[in-house]
Chain A
Amino acid sequence: MKLAVDVRRHAYDDLLVLSDVSFTVADGEVVCIVGPSGCGKSTLLGIVGGLVRPTDGTVATEGALRPGTLNPVTFVFQDFALLPWRSVRDNVGFPLEHHRLSSADREARVSDALARTGLADFAGALPKQLSGGMRQRVGIARALAVEPALLLLDEPLSALDAQTRELLMDDFGRLWMGAGITALYVTHNLDEALRLADRIVVLSRRPGRIKDIVSVGIDRPDRTAVAAAPRLAVLRERLWSLIRDEAASADREMARA
Protein backbone atom coordinates (compact mmCIF):
# COMPACT_ATOMS: atom_id res chain seq x y z
CA MET A 1 0.00 0.00 0.00
CA LYS A 2 1.28 3.43 -0.91
CA LEU A 3 0.99 6.37 1.42
CA ALA A 4 0.92 10.11 0.75
CA VAL A 5 1.26 12.41 3.75
CA ASP A 6 0.65 16.11 3.33
CA VAL A 7 0.33 17.94 6.65
CA ARG A 8 0.46 21.64 5.87
CA ARG A 9 -0.05 22.71 9.46
CA HIS A 10 -0.85 21.15 12.77
CA ALA A 11 -1.28 23.18 15.94
CA TYR A 12 -2.48 22.64 19.50
CA ASP A 13 -4.24 25.90 20.32
CA ASP A 14 -1.54 28.46 19.51
CA LEU A 15 1.35 26.04 19.53
CA LEU A 16 2.44 25.10 16.03
CA VAL A 17 3.61 21.50 16.12
CA LEU A 18 4.05 20.50 12.48
CA SER A 19 4.55 22.64 9.45
CA ASP A 20 4.66 21.56 5.80
CA VAL A 21 5.42 17.92 6.36
CA SER A 22 4.81 16.11 3.10
CA PHE A 23 6.33 12.92 1.87
CA THR A 24 5.27 9.68 0.26
CA VAL A 25 5.95 6.09 1.17
CA ALA A 26 6.15 3.55 -1.64
CA ASP A 27 4.52 0.15 -1.53
CA GLY A 28 6.58 -2.16 0.68
CA GLU A 29 8.89 0.61 1.77
CA VAL A 30 10.04 1.21 5.36
CA VAL A 31 10.37 4.88 6.20
CA CYS A 32 11.74 6.04 9.54
CA ILE A 33 10.98 9.41 11.02
CA VAL A 34 13.68 10.77 13.30
CA GLY A 35 13.91 14.08 15.08
CA PRO A 36 14.56 15.66 18.47
CA SER A 37 12.20 15.17 21.42
CA GLY A 38 8.99 17.13 21.11
CA CYS A 39 9.30 17.65 17.37
CA GLY A 40 5.86 16.18 16.73
CA LYS A 41 6.98 12.75 15.49
CA SER A 42 4.31 10.86 17.41
CA THR A 43 1.67 13.44 16.56
CA LEU A 44 2.54 12.96 12.90
CA LEU A 45 2.09 9.22 13.25
CA GLY A 46 -1.25 9.82 15.00
CA ILE A 47 -2.34 11.96 12.08
CA VAL A 48 -1.29 9.30 9.57
CA GLY A 49 -3.21 6.64 11.54
CA GLY A 50 -6.38 8.71 11.86
CA LEU A 51 -6.11 9.14 15.62
CA VAL A 52 -5.31 12.85 15.47
CA ARG A 53 -7.20 15.26 13.24
CA PRO A 54 -4.69 17.55 11.48
CA THR A 55 -5.37 21.30 11.65
CA ASP A 56 -4.75 21.49 7.92
CA GLY A 57 -3.66 18.53 5.88
CA THR A 58 -4.53 15.22 4.32
CA VAL A 59 -3.31 11.66 4.46
CA ALA A 60 -4.18 9.21 1.71
CA THR A 61 -3.40 5.59 1.03
CA GLU A 62 -3.52 3.91 -2.33
CA GLY A 63 -3.45 0.33 -3.49
CA ALA A 64 -5.48 -2.83 -3.48
CA LEU A 65 -5.76 -4.67 -0.16
CA ARG A 66 -5.27 -8.36 0.29
CA PRO A 67 -8.56 -10.08 1.16
CA GLY A 68 -7.30 -11.04 4.62
CA THR A 69 -6.52 -7.47 5.63
CA LEU A 70 -8.90 -6.53 8.45
CA ASN A 71 -7.28 -3.30 9.61
CA PRO A 72 -5.24 -1.75 6.81
CA VAL A 73 -3.52 0.89 8.94
CA THR A 74 -2.28 -0.68 12.18
CA PHE A 75 -0.29 0.71 15.10
CA VAL A 76 2.45 -0.72 17.29
CA PHE A 77 2.80 1.40 20.44
CA GLN A 78 5.80 2.48 22.49
CA ASP A 79 4.36 1.27 25.79
CA PHE A 80 2.90 -1.85 24.14
CA ALA A 81 -0.75 -0.94 24.98
CA LEU A 82 -1.64 -4.46 26.07
CA LEU A 83 -4.83 -5.12 28.03
CA PRO A 84 -3.31 -6.26 31.34
CA TRP A 85 -6.31 -8.42 32.28
CA ARG A 86 -6.09 -10.48 29.08
CA SER A 87 -3.74 -13.34 28.32
CA VAL A 88 -1.29 -13.08 25.45
CA ARG A 89 -3.67 -15.09 23.25
CA ASP A 90 -6.65 -12.87 24.05
CA ASN A 91 -4.64 -9.70 23.55
CA VAL A 92 -3.65 -10.85 20.08
CA GLY A 93 -7.26 -11.88 19.38
CA PHE A 94 -8.69 -8.59 20.69
CA PRO A 95 -8.80 -6.72 17.34
CA LEU A 96 -10.41 -9.74 15.67
CA GLU A 97 -13.41 -9.82 17.99
CA HIS A 98 -15.54 -7.29 16.16
CA HIS A 99 -14.91 -8.87 12.77
CA ARG A 100 -17.13 -11.60 11.41
CA LEU A 101 -14.70 -14.48 11.31
CA SER A 102 -15.23 -18.17 11.77
CA SER A 103 -13.75 -19.31 15.05
CA ALA A 104 -11.34 -21.50 13.10
CA ASP A 105 -10.12 -18.50 11.10
CA ARG A 106 -9.81 -16.47 14.28
CA GLU A 107 -7.79 -19.14 16.02
CA ALA A 108 -5.61 -19.67 12.96
CA ARG A 109 -4.80 -15.96 12.77
CA VAL A 110 -3.94 -15.80 16.46
CA SER A 111 -1.79 -18.91 16.51
CA ASP A 112 -0.04 -17.89 13.28
CA ALA A 113 0.78 -14.46 14.71
CA LEU A 114 2.00 -16.04 17.95
CA ALA A 115 4.17 -18.50 16.06
CA ARG A 116 5.72 -15.80 13.88
CA THR A 117 6.69 -13.74 16.93
CA GLY A 118 7.93 -16.71 18.95
CA LEU A 119 5.16 -16.45 21.51
CA ALA A 120 3.52 -19.84 21.00
CA ASP A 121 4.66 -21.06 24.43
CA PHE A 122 3.41 -17.94 26.19
CA ALA A 123 -0.16 -17.90 24.84
CA GLY A 124 -1.70 -18.33 28.28
CA ALA A 125 0.54 -15.84 30.12
CA LEU A 126 -0.60 -12.46 31.38
CA PRO A 127 1.32 -9.34 30.27
CA LYS A 128 2.67 -8.77 33.80
CA GLN A 129 4.43 -12.15 33.61
CA LEU A 130 6.38 -11.15 30.49
CA SER A 131 9.54 -9.13 30.00
CA GLY A 132 9.38 -5.86 28.09
CA GLY A 133 10.68 -7.49 24.94
CA MET A 134 8.07 -10.23 25.09
CA ARG A 135 5.34 -7.67 25.72
CA GLN A 136 6.30 -5.78 22.61
CA ARG A 137 6.31 -9.06 20.69
CA VAL A 138 2.68 -9.40 21.78
CA GLY A 139 2.04 -5.90 20.44
CA ILE A 140 3.60 -6.94 17.14
CA ALA A 141 1.69 -10.22 17.02
CA ARG A 142 -1.56 -8.31 17.60
CA ALA A 143 -0.70 -6.07 14.66
CA LEU A 144 0.18 -9.03 12.43
CA ALA A 145 -3.10 -10.82 13.25
CA VAL A 146 -5.11 -8.22 11.33
CA GLU A 147 -2.79 -8.54 8.31
CA PRO A 148 -2.02 -4.82 8.03
CA ALA A 149 -1.10 -3.13 4.77
CA LEU A 150 0.61 -0.24 6.55
CA LEU A 151 2.30 -0.55 9.94
CA LEU A 152 2.72 2.55 12.05
CA LEU A 153 5.33 1.98 14.73
CA ASP A 154 5.57 4.66 17.41
CA GLU A 155 8.99 4.28 19.06
CA PRO A 156 8.32 0.56 19.47
CA LEU A 157 11.71 -0.19 21.04
CA SER A 158 12.20 2.92 23.19
CA ALA A 159 10.92 1.28 26.36
CA LEU A 160 13.33 -1.65 26.02
CA ASP A 161 16.93 -2.17 27.09
CA ALA A 162 19.70 -2.15 24.50
CA GLN A 163 20.05 -5.94 24.20
CA THR A 164 16.34 -6.56 23.84
CA ARG A 165 16.20 -3.78 21.28
CA GLU A 166 18.90 -5.52 19.27
CA LEU A 167 16.93 -8.80 19.31
CA LEU A 168 13.68 -7.14 18.28
CA MET A 169 15.35 -5.28 15.43
CA ASP A 170 16.42 -8.68 14.09
CA ASP A 171 12.81 -9.82 14.43
CA PHE A 172 11.49 -6.80 12.55
CA GLY A 173 13.92 -7.38 9.73
CA ARG A 174 12.90 -11.02 9.50
CA LEU A 175 9.15 -10.31 9.71
CA TRP A 176 9.22 -7.58 7.12
CA MET A 177 11.43 -9.32 4.64
CA GLY A 178 9.31 -10.48 1.78
CA ALA A 179 6.13 -9.71 3.68
CA GLY A 180 5.67 -6.59 1.60
CA ILE A 181 4.50 -4.58 4.58
CA THR A 182 4.75 -0.84 4.20
CA ALA A 183 5.87 0.76 7.42
CA LEU A 184 6.27 4.17 8.95
CA TYR A 185 8.54 3.95 11.97
CA VAL A 186 9.04 6.77 14.44
CA THR A 187 12.19 6.71 16.56
CA HIS A 188 14.72 9.01 18.14
CA ASN A 189 17.36 6.31 17.85
CA LEU A 190 19.51 6.79 14.74
CA ASP A 191 20.86 3.23 14.87
CA GLU A 192 17.35 1.83 14.74
CA ALA A 193 16.57 4.00 11.75
CA LEU A 194 19.78 3.01 9.98
CA ARG A 195 19.15 -0.65 10.62
CA LEU A 196 15.53 -0.76 9.48
CA ALA A 197 14.71 2.09 7.11
CA ASP A 198 14.81 2.32 3.36
CA ARG A 199 14.57 6.08 3.74
CA ILE A 200 14.86 8.32 6.79
CA VAL A 201 12.82 11.49 7.17
CA VAL A 202 14.62 13.95 9.45
CA LEU A 203 12.37 16.41 11.25
CA SER A 204 13.48 19.68 12.82
CA ARG A 205 12.60 20.68 16.35
CA ARG A 206 9.17 22.16 16.97
CA PRO A 207 7.47 23.14 14.79
CA GLY A 208 8.49 19.94 13.00
CA ARG A 209 9.52 20.52 9.40
CA ILE A 210 11.31 18.12 7.08
CA LYS A 211 15.04 18.94 7.22
CA ASP A 212 16.06 16.22 4.87
CA ILE A 213 15.13 12.79 3.56
CA VAL A 214 18.06 10.36 3.56
CA SER A 215 18.13 7.11 1.60
CA VAL A 216 20.09 4.35 3.27
CA GLY A 217 20.84 2.46 0.06
CA ILE A 218 22.21 -0.70 1.67
CA ASP A 219 20.29 -3.98 1.57
CA ARG A 220 18.72 -4.50 4.97
CA PRO A 221 20.26 -7.95 5.61
CA ASP A 222 23.73 -6.58 4.79
CA ARG A 223 23.59 -3.80 7.33
CA THR A 224 24.75 -5.90 10.26
CA ALA A 225 27.81 -7.05 8.28
CA VAL A 226 31.16 -5.53 9.20
CA ALA A 227 31.66 -4.42 5.59
CA ALA A 228 28.67 -2.09 5.83
CA ALA A 229 29.93 -0.38 8.96
CA PRO A 230 31.93 2.44 7.28
CA ARG A 231 29.03 3.44 5.02
CA LEU A 232 26.60 3.33 7.92
CA ALA A 233 28.99 5.43 10.00
CA VAL A 234 29.02 8.08 7.27
CA LEU A 235 25.24 8.06 7.13
CA ARG A 236 25.01 8.22 10.89
CA GLU A 237 27.35 11.21 10.97
CA ARG A 238 25.24 12.94 8.34
CA LEU A 239 22.01 12.29 10.26
CA TRP A 240 23.58 13.41 13.52
CA SER A 241 24.86 16.63 11.96
CA LEU A 242 21.30 17.31 10.80
CA ILE A 243 19.83 16.65 14.23
CA ARG A 244 22.56 17.75 16.63
CA ASP A 245 21.84 21.48 16.83
CA GLU A 246 18.10 20.86 16.74
CA ALA A 247 18.33 18.41 19.60
CA ALA A 248 20.51 20.75 21.63
CA SER A 249 18.17 23.71 21.27
CA ALA A 250 15.09 21.51 21.82
CA ASP A 251 16.76 20.36 25.03
CA ARG A 252 17.33 23.94 26.21
CA GLU A 253 13.77 24.85 25.25
CA MET A 254 12.39 22.04 27.42
CA ALA A 255 14.54 23.17 30.33
CA ARG A 256 13.02 26.65 30.06
CA ALA A 257 9.44 25.43 29.71
Chain B
Amino acid sequence: MPEGQALQPERRPVAFRGGGFLPRTSRAVGAIGFAVVLLAWQGALAAGWISPVFLPSPVEVALALRDLAASGELWRHLSISLYRIVLGWSFGTAAGLGVGSAMALFSLARSLGMPMISALFPIPKIALLPLLILWLGIGETSKVATIGLGVFFPTAIATYSGIDNVSRTLIRMAQSFGIPFGAIVCKVALPGALPSILSGMRISASIALLLVVSAEMIGAESGIGAFVLSAGNLMQTDQLVAGVAVLSVLGLLVGAALSAAEKALLSWR
Protein backbone atom coordinates (compact mmCIF):
# COMPACT_ATOMS: atom_id res chain seq x y z
CA MET B 1 0.00 0.00 0.00
CA PRO B 2 1.43 3.39 -0.99
CA GLU B 3 0.15 5.08 2.18
CA GLY B 4 1.68 2.33 4.30
CA GLN B 5 4.96 2.85 2.51
CA ALA B 6 4.73 6.55 3.13
CA LEU B 7 4.14 5.96 6.84
CA GLN B 8 7.10 3.61 7.11
CA PRO B 9 9.55 6.11 8.68
CA GLU B 10 7.02 6.86 11.44
CA ARG B 11 6.57 3.20 12.30
CA ARG B 12 7.71 2.34 15.84
CA PRO B 13 7.31 -0.87 17.81
CA VAL B 14 5.37 -0.50 21.08
CA ALA B 15 7.93 -1.19 23.78
CA PHE B 16 7.03 -3.59 26.61
CA ARG B 17 6.69 -1.69 29.88
CA GLY B 18 4.69 -4.07 32.11
CA GLY B 19 7.67 -5.68 33.86
CA GLY B 20 8.54 -5.93 37.54
CA PHE B 21 6.37 -5.95 40.68
CA LEU B 22 6.13 -9.74 40.54
CA PRO B 23 8.68 -10.94 43.11
CA ARG B 24 8.93 -14.68 43.59
CA THR B 25 10.49 -16.62 46.45
CA SER B 26 12.96 -19.41 45.93
CA ARG B 27 13.51 -21.90 48.75
CA ALA B 28 16.94 -22.76 47.42
CA VAL B 29 18.14 -19.15 47.56
CA GLY B 30 16.84 -18.88 51.13
CA ALA B 31 18.68 -22.02 52.18
CA ILE B 32 21.89 -20.89 50.52
CA GLY B 33 21.64 -17.51 52.27
CA PHE B 34 21.27 -19.27 55.61
CA ALA B 35 24.25 -21.50 54.91
CA VAL B 36 26.41 -18.54 53.86
CA VAL B 37 25.67 -16.69 57.10
CA LEU B 38 26.47 -19.76 59.23
CA LEU B 39 29.70 -20.40 57.32
CA ALA B 40 30.77 -16.76 57.57
CA TRP B 41 30.02 -16.85 61.30
CA GLN B 42 32.03 -20.04 61.80
CA GLY B 43 34.80 -18.73 59.53
CA ALA B 44 35.07 -15.37 61.32
CA LEU B 45 35.58 -17.19 64.63
CA ALA B 46 38.04 -19.66 63.11
CA ALA B 47 40.03 -16.77 61.63
CA GLY B 48 40.05 -15.06 65.02
CA TRP B 49 38.12 -11.96 63.82
CA ILE B 50 35.58 -12.42 66.61
CA SER B 51 36.45 -13.31 70.18
CA PRO B 52 34.79 -16.54 71.32
CA VAL B 53 34.11 -14.79 74.66
CA PHE B 54 31.43 -12.67 72.98
CA LEU B 55 30.05 -15.03 70.36
CA PRO B 56 30.21 -18.82 70.28
CA SER B 57 30.58 -20.59 66.95
CA PRO B 58 27.53 -22.28 65.40
CA VAL B 59 29.15 -25.64 66.10
CA GLU B 60 29.55 -24.82 69.80
CA VAL B 61 25.92 -23.72 69.95
CA ALA B 62 24.84 -26.99 68.37
CA LEU B 63 26.95 -28.97 70.84
CA ALA B 64 25.54 -26.97 73.77
CA LEU B 65 22.03 -27.69 72.50
CA ARG B 66 22.78 -31.39 72.27
CA ASP B 67 24.14 -31.48 75.83
CA LEU B 68 21.18 -29.50 77.17
CA ALA B 69 18.77 -31.84 75.47
CA ALA B 70 20.61 -34.93 76.67
CA SER B 71 20.79 -33.78 80.30
CA GLY B 72 17.07 -32.97 80.39
CA GLU B 73 17.95 -29.38 81.34
CA LEU B 74 16.43 -28.02 78.13
CA TRP B 75 13.13 -29.79 78.64
CA ARG B 76 12.97 -28.70 82.31
CA HIS B 77 13.17 -25.01 81.33
CA LEU B 78 11.12 -25.34 78.17
CA SER B 79 8.27 -27.20 79.87
CA ILE B 80 7.84 -24.62 82.63
CA SER B 81 7.86 -21.81 80.02
CA LEU B 82 5.32 -23.66 77.90
CA TYR B 83 3.14 -24.23 80.97
CA ARG B 84 3.11 -20.48 81.68
CA ILE B 85 2.41 -19.60 78.05
CA VAL B 86 -0.41 -22.10 77.62
CA LEU B 87 -2.10 -21.10 80.87
CA GLY B 88 -1.72 -17.34 80.39
CA TRP B 89 -2.62 -17.46 76.73
CA SER B 90 -5.74 -19.57 77.39
CA PHE B 91 -7.04 -17.26 80.11
CA GLY B 92 -6.25 -14.14 78.10
CA THR B 93 -7.84 -15.57 74.95
CA ALA B 94 -11.01 -16.71 76.74
CA ALA B 95 -11.45 -13.32 78.39
CA GLY B 96 -10.60 -11.47 75.18
CA LEU B 97 -13.12 -13.49 73.14
CA GLY B 98 -15.84 -12.84 75.73
CA VAL B 99 -15.19 -9.13 76.19
CA GLY B 100 -14.56 -8.52 72.48
CA SER B 101 -17.84 -10.27 71.53
CA ALA B 102 -19.77 -8.33 74.16
CA MET B 103 -18.32 -5.07 72.86
CA ALA B 104 -19.27 -5.94 69.31
CA LEU B 105 -22.84 -6.91 70.25
CA PHE B 106 -24.02 -4.69 73.12
CA SER B 107 -24.12 -0.90 73.40
CA LEU B 108 -23.33 -0.87 77.12
CA ALA B 109 -20.30 -3.14 76.77
CA ARG B 110 -19.10 -1.11 73.80
CA SER B 111 -19.52 2.23 75.58
CA LEU B 112 -17.67 0.94 78.65
CA GLY B 113 -15.09 -1.17 76.89
CA MET B 114 -13.81 1.10 74.12
CA PRO B 115 -12.34 3.87 76.32
CA MET B 116 -10.94 1.35 78.81
CA ILE B 117 -9.23 -0.71 76.16
CA SER B 118 -7.93 2.42 74.47
CA ALA B 119 -6.45 3.58 77.77
CA LEU B 120 -4.98 0.25 78.90
CA PHE B 121 -3.87 -1.31 75.63
CA PRO B 122 -0.81 0.91 75.10
CA ILE B 123 0.71 -0.01 78.51
CA PRO B 124 3.59 -2.44 77.98
CA LYS B 125 2.22 -5.25 80.12
CA ILE B 126 5.63 -6.18 81.52
CA ALA B 127 5.51 -2.85 83.38
CA LEU B 128 2.64 -4.28 85.40
CA LEU B 129 4.60 -7.34 86.53
CA PRO B 130 6.01 -5.67 89.69
CA LEU B 131 2.48 -4.70 90.68
CA LEU B 132 1.18 -8.16 89.92
CA ILE B 133 4.01 -9.66 91.98
CA LEU B 134 2.94 -7.44 94.89
CA TRP B 135 -0.63 -8.63 94.53
CA LEU B 136 -0.15 -12.26 93.58
CA GLY B 137 3.33 -13.15 94.85
CA ILE B 138 6.51 -14.05 92.98
CA GLY B 139 5.17 -17.49 91.97
CA GLU B 140 3.43 -18.68 88.83
CA THR B 141 0.26 -16.62 89.21
CA SER B 142 1.86 -13.23 88.60
CA LYS B 143 3.66 -14.49 85.47
CA VAL B 144 0.56 -16.17 84.10
CA ALA B 145 -1.47 -13.04 84.84
CA THR B 146 1.03 -10.84 82.98
CA ILE B 147 0.83 -13.09 79.93
CA GLY B 148 -2.96 -13.24 80.24
CA LEU B 149 -3.19 -9.45 80.30
CA GLY B 150 -0.87 -9.12 77.34
CA VAL B 151 -2.93 -11.62 75.36
CA PHE B 152 -6.30 -10.24 76.44
CA PHE B 153 -6.12 -6.86 74.71
CA PRO B 154 -5.20 -7.87 71.15
CA THR B 155 -7.68 -10.77 71.34
CA ALA B 156 -10.49 -8.51 72.54
CA ILE B 157 -9.73 -5.96 69.81
CA ALA B 158 -9.48 -8.61 67.08
CA THR B 159 -12.74 -10.24 68.18
CA TYR B 160 -14.52 -6.91 68.45
CA SER B 161 -13.43 -5.64 65.06
CA GLY B 162 -13.94 -9.06 63.47
CA ILE B 163 -17.57 -9.27 64.54
CA ASP B 164 -18.13 -5.59 63.83
CA ASN B 165 -16.93 -6.08 60.27
CA VAL B 166 -19.10 -9.10 59.51
CA SER B 167 -21.21 -8.13 56.51
CA ARG B 168 -24.37 -6.37 57.62
CA THR B 169 -26.24 -8.20 54.88
CA LEU B 170 -25.43 -11.58 56.43
CA ILE B 171 -26.87 -10.45 59.77
CA ARG B 172 -29.97 -9.08 58.03
CA MET B 173 -30.29 -12.27 56.03
CA ALA B 174 -30.31 -14.32 59.23
CA GLN B 175 -32.82 -11.93 60.81
CA SER B 176 -35.02 -12.12 57.74
CA PHE B 177 -35.32 -15.87 58.29
CA GLY B 178 -36.25 -15.32 61.91
CA ILE B 179 -33.04 -16.87 63.29
CA PRO B 180 -32.78 -16.18 67.05
CA PHE B 181 -30.11 -13.79 68.37
CA GLY B 182 -27.91 -16.45 69.96
CA ALA B 183 -27.87 -18.55 66.80
CA ILE B 184 -26.96 -15.49 64.70
CA VAL B 185 -24.00 -14.87 67.02
CA CYS B 186 -22.81 -18.49 66.87
CA LYS B 187 -23.56 -19.25 63.23
CA VAL B 188 -22.97 -15.92 61.52
CA ALA B 189 -21.06 -13.39 63.64
CA LEU B 190 -18.38 -15.61 65.19
CA PRO B 191 -17.55 -17.68 62.07
CA GLY B 192 -17.44 -14.42 60.12
CA ALA B 193 -15.04 -12.96 62.67
CA LEU B 194 -12.79 -16.03 62.64
CA PRO B 195 -10.25 -14.63 60.13
CA SER B 196 -9.76 -11.58 62.32
CA ILE B 197 -9.68 -13.68 65.52
CA LEU B 198 -7.01 -15.96 64.07
CA SER B 199 -4.82 -13.08 62.97
CA GLY B 200 -5.28 -11.66 66.47
CA MET B 201 -4.01 -14.99 67.78
CA ARG B 202 -0.87 -14.61 65.70
CA ILE B 203 -0.20 -11.33 67.49
CA SER B 204 -1.20 -12.63 70.92
CA ALA B 205 1.00 -15.73 70.57
CA SER B 206 4.08 -13.63 69.88
CA ILE B 207 3.16 -11.34 72.79
CA ALA B 208 2.86 -14.39 75.05
CA LEU B 209 6.33 -15.55 74.00
CA LEU B 210 7.79 -12.09 74.58
CA LEU B 211 6.15 -11.75 77.98
CA VAL B 212 7.08 -15.20 79.26
CA VAL B 213 10.77 -14.52 78.56
CA SER B 214 10.59 -11.04 80.10
CA ALA B 215 8.76 -12.26 83.19
CA GLU B 216 11.20 -15.12 83.65
CA MET B 217 14.12 -12.71 83.40
CA ILE B 218 12.64 -10.58 86.18
CA GLY B 219 11.79 -13.18 88.76
CA ALA B 220 12.20 -16.89 88.07
CA GLU B 221 14.66 -19.70 88.63
CA SER B 222 13.41 -21.80 85.75
CA GLY B 223 12.11 -21.24 82.27
CA ILE B 224 13.90 -20.34 79.05
CA GLY B 225 14.05 -16.65 79.98
CA ALA B 226 15.73 -17.36 83.31
CA PHE B 227 18.07 -19.82 81.64
CA VAL B 228 19.16 -17.30 79.00
CA LEU B 229 19.67 -14.60 81.63
CA SER B 230 21.78 -16.77 83.94
CA ALA B 231 23.84 -18.06 81.00
CA GLY B 232 24.58 -14.43 80.18
CA ASN B 233 25.56 -13.67 83.77
CA LEU B 234 27.94 -16.63 83.72
CA MET B 235 29.37 -15.65 80.30
CA GLN B 236 28.22 -19.04 78.93
CA THR B 237 27.51 -17.61 75.50
CA ASP B 238 27.08 -21.03 73.88
CA GLN B 239 24.26 -21.82 76.32
CA LEU B 240 22.82 -18.34 75.87
CA VAL B 241 22.65 -18.55 72.09
CA ALA B 242 21.30 -22.11 72.36
CA GLY B 243 18.44 -20.80 74.53
CA VAL B 244 17.74 -18.02 72.03
CA ALA B 245 17.74 -20.55 69.19
CA VAL B 246 15.17 -22.62 71.09
CA LEU B 247 12.97 -19.53 71.39
CA SER B 248 13.26 -18.94 67.67
CA VAL B 249 12.17 -22.50 66.95
CA LEU B 250 9.31 -22.18 69.44
CA GLY B 251 8.10 -19.04 67.69
CA LEU B 252 8.34 -20.76 64.31
CA LEU B 253 6.38 -23.77 65.56
CA VAL B 254 3.59 -21.60 66.99
CA GLY B 255 3.42 -19.69 63.70
CA ALA B 256 3.27 -22.93 61.73
CA ALA B 257 0.51 -24.27 63.99
CA LEU B 258 -1.52 -21.10 63.42
CA SER B 259 -0.94 -21.29 59.67
CA ALA B 260 -2.21 -24.88 59.73
CA ALA B 261 -5.26 -23.78 61.73
CA GLU B 262 -5.95 -20.98 59.25
CA LYS B 263 -5.62 -23.36 56.35
CA ALA B 264 -8.04 -25.83 57.94
CA LEU B 265 -10.59 -23.34 59.26
CA LEU B 266 -10.51 -20.64 56.61
CA SER B 267 -10.40 -22.71 53.45
CA TRP B 268 -13.68 -21.08 52.47
CA ARG B 269 -12.00 -17.74 51.80
Contact = CB atoms under 8 A, between A and B. Distances in A.
A212 B250 CA distance: 70
A98 B169 contact: no
Given A51-B172, A79-B169, A85 B268 contact: yes
A146 B177 contact: yes
Contacts of B174: 94
Given A84-B269, A126-B268, A128-B269, A74 B179 contact: no
Contacts of A95: 177-179
B184 to A, nearest CB: 10
Given A77-B169, A81-B169, A84-B268, A94 B176 contact: no
A83 B191 contact: yes
Specify which of B173, B178, B187, B268 lies most central, judged by the most chain A CB atoms within 10 Å of its CB: B173
A74 B176 contact: yes
Nearest to A51: B172
Interface string B156-188: 000000000001011011111111100100011
Given A83-B170, A83-B191, A51 B183 contact: no
Given A95-B179, A128-B268, A85 B172 contact: no
A13 B191 CA distance: 33
Contacts of B177: 71, 74, 94-95, 146
Interface of B is mostly: helix
B268 A98 contact: no
A71 B178 contact: yes
A51 B180 contact: no
Contacts of B169: 77, 79, 81
A185 interface: no
A71 B169 CA distance: 18
Interface in B27-73: none
Specify which of A50, A51, A77, A83 lies most central, judged by the most chain B CB atoms within 10 Å of its CB: A83
A51 B170 contact: no
B268 A97 contact: no
Contacts of A49: 176
Interface residues on B, range: 10 to 19
Interface string A49-81: 111000000000000000000010111010101
Contacts of A83: 170, 187-188, 191
A78 to B, nearest CB: 8
A73 B177 CA distance: 8
Interface in A88-114: 94-95, 97-98
A74 B177 CA distance: 7
B93 to A, nearest CB: 21
A50 B178 CA distance: 10
Contact of B183 (A98, A126, A127, A146): A98
Contacts of A128: 268-269
Nearest to B177: A95
Contact of B187 (A51, A77, A94, A146): A94
Contacts of B180: 98
Nearest to B168: A81
Contacts of B191: 83, 85
A83 B167 CA distance: 10
A153 B224 CA distance: 61
B178 A98 contact: yes
Nearest to B175: A51
Given A81-B169, A94-B187, A97-B183, 20 more contacts: A46-B172, A51-B172, A51-B175, A51-B176, A71-B176, A73-B176, A75-B172, A77-B172, A79-B169, A81-B167, A84-B268, A84-B269, A85-B194, A86-B268, A95-B179, A97-B187, A98-B178, A98-B179, A98-B183, A127-B268
30 contacts: A46-B172, A50-B176, A51-B172, A51-B176, A71-B178, A74-B176, A75-B172, A75-B173, A75-B176, A79-B169, A81-B169, A81-B172, A83-B187, A83-B188, A83-B191, A84-B268, A85-B268, A86-B268, A94-B174, A95-B178, A97-B179, A97-B187, A98-B178, A98-B180, A98-B183, A126-B268, A127-B268, A128-B268, A128-B269, A146-B177
Interface of B: 167, 169-170, 172-180, 183, 187-188, 191, 194, 268-269
Interface of A: 46, 49-51, 71, 73-75, 77, 79, 81, 83-86, 94-95, 97-98, 126-128, 146
